Amino acid sequence: MSGKPVLHHFNGRGRVECIRWLLAAAGVEFEEKFIECPEDLEKLRKDGKLMFEQVPMVEIDGMTLVQTRAILNYIATKYDLDGKDVKERALIDMYAEGIADLSEMMGQLVVTPPDQKEAKIALIKDRTKNRYLPAFEKFEEKFIECPEDLEKLKKDGKLMFEQVPMVEIDGMTLVQTRAILNYIATKYDLYGKDVKERALIDMYAEGIADLSEMIIHLVVTPPDQKEAKIALIKDRTKNRYLPAFEKVLKSHGQNYLVGNRLTRVDIHLLELLLYVEEMDSSLLAPFPLLKALKSRLSNLPNVKKFLQPGSQRKPPTDEKTIEEARKVFKF
């Protein structure tokens, strides 16, 4: 082992390109192992190196990390590229998530059906010109000049990327879900004891986010595609995501996923498990450790309170809620 990080992905840009960029900018030499055929991917999966059966995967400092954001966060922290304090990091997260949203749209272009391509390109150009580039032009200028600029900014444009959720907290106007979650988790000491624990928390949280995203999208899936989508989600739940977390719990025998104490990722997992149960309560049956975790977490006093009727927790999304959202967000 040379001690250099080793990147596993295919020989192209894809999701790994931003990891290459960050390592290069930090002056870190790295090696790459390209996945050139399905057997290469299968081998990595068989060897248990891909927690969610997906790449990119990076071997670094004795860890086998998957999930792009978890990898980027670890590198940024290690090479002091994530701001001087938790507030700066919240801004960095917020900006980075805006960049990721636009990059994701661009990345999806190559797999867009030909008949939808023109419309997609027009939308991307519009968003680039009228939403993302102006946001950075504006925020940068105003932050650099003087404190009054921040005041004015709050008054005349609280949504950096014109999207919600937005949270006003500790004098900041934060958008981008992950930036908001990272800030809250850090502030309330739910983000691990060191950078390696945080890398695990990020990796697990991104897997949870991938499956949650699939479930959340179900309500806007056209009726003729719904059955197939549900089957795919159930398959992924049963054969990819829940086994991955059951394995983590089994490997260390502890009461929580990371560091033997409650972190944000336990809460994210509980939320996901409740969605899974709403979809099909039998899905959890083969996973005794996850079931035990679920009941342990549900009985923590603050969580228990939140699970009681009358709390701010929302019921499952129904047609009426979708219709209201459609009107507001015009989708």
Ligand X SMILES: N[C@@H](CCC(=O)N[C@@H](CS)C(=O)NCC(=O)O)C(=O)O
CB 159 within 8 A of CB 190: no
Nearer residue to ligand X within complex by CB, 57 or 297: 57
Q: How far is the CB of 274 from ligand X (least distance, A)?
A: 21
Q: How far is the CB of 68 from ligand X (least distance, A)?
A: 3
- Return the axis-axis angle of helices 86-108 and 133-145, rounded to nearest 10°: 160
Q: How far is the CB of 40 from ligand X (least distance, A)?
A: 12
Per the DSSP assignment, residues forming a β-bridge with 58 are 7, 65
CB 182 within 8 A of CB 93: yes
Nearer residue to ligand X within complex by CB, 238 or 294: 238
Q: How far is the CB of 151 from ligand X (least distance, A)?
A: 37
- How does 229-244 read in b/e, with b if 16+ C-beta sit within 10 Å? ebeebeebbbebbbbb
CB 268 within 8 A of CB 208: yes
Q: How far is the CB of 90 from ligand X (least distance, A)?
A: 21
CB 176 within 8 A of CB 161: yes
Torsion of CA 274, 276, 281, 286, to 10 degrees: -110
For ligand X, the binding residues (CB under 6 A) are 14-15, 53-56, 67-68, 206, 210
